[in-house]
Amino acid sequence: MNIDVLLAQLRTLIADARKEAKRTVDVIQVRTCWEIGRHIVEFEQGGQARAAYGKKLLSRLAESLTGEFGRGFDATNLRHMRRFYLAFPICDTVRRELSWSHYRALLRVDNPEARLWYVNEATAQNWSFRALDRQIGTLYYERLLLSNDKASVEAEAEANIAALPRSPREFVRDPVMLEFLGLPGTGKLLESKLEQALMDKLQAFLLELGKGFAFVARQQRISTESQDFYVDLVFYNYLLKCFVLIDLKSGKLTHQDIGQMDMYVRMYDDLKRGESDNPTVGIILCSQKDESVVRYSVLNGSEQLFASRYSLVLPSEEELRRELDRERTMLLEQAEAYQADGGDHE
């Protein structure tokens, strides 16, 4: 037998096995999420139980479940599971061909008829999550319904799907599935070594400042109805009574980076900030070869007043610049020494 033929057979065998493993996990995950949603809804409908726990039910459940099973069962995901059951109260209507990521996208569709249409089309056309997300985002159902030239709308939709990248990495990088399986490291899996090392040093540097910082989380996920975002570092400053978000950029600071941090601050205020907390502060640190850039973000009506207070407590821009420059230089020197020695030492 020609070795190329053997390799082709082995590739097919491995690819089929991976598809089957993914399909099995998908089915179990979707069924589990549906059952969790059902249990939560039935508990809420228990009258006295609902009155006793009220809006804090999901947060109480999340605190226990995340401690035991990981971030896949935080309050945001439990809320998705509850909505999943309410949108699909009959288990037989849940299609085994669709993953939990598919169903999270479908929950954005408020119209039950449109949602059912997307379910049927995604199943019949074997749409990936990205394909389904694209079709929902471009209002494919609504445009098709209103159009007199349905063939053109369908052709455009097919062209959009064909343009989407397809890679096996889509499976291994799926944070929803990894968290369901309880696997660690579900944040930025492909984070650069330089950025990772700088983050290690920066975290220690901020804690050593001794100005009221308490470490909260690293690569903390905050979610919208359809997307997950990860904040590099989260602190709470008990002197200012506010959360401090830090995002590190290895390259040049862009308008997109600034907009992203402003979005993080808004989301954090909506999702995490307590009633007695002051506005969330966002800090973008941009580490480049020629300069270090620092930008603060506070989104609140009393921004100027709060800015004057946090300038007395938070690290100054000059302190952060010096620390970034010092640590970047040290890390680059270590990397050069490692390469010069042939990579033999630890």
Domain residue spans in the chain? Answer: 3-179, 193-340
pLDDT, tens only, 117-137: 999 999 998 888 888 988 888
**pTM, two decimal places:** 0.53
CA distance 283 to 281: 7
pLDDT, residue 287, reads 62
pLDDT, tens only, 3-42: 888 888 888 898 888 778 777 888 888 999 999 999 999 8
* Domain over 193-340 is classified CATH 3.40.1350.10: yes
- Smallest Cα–Cα separation from 274: which of 236, 302, 312? 236
Task: Give the pLDDT mean for 243-270.
Answer: 82
Task: Give the pLDDT mean for 236-242.
Answer: 85
Helices (H), 54-92: 57-69, 75-87
Neighbours of 278 (CB within 10 A): 19
- Per-residue DSSP letter, 73: G
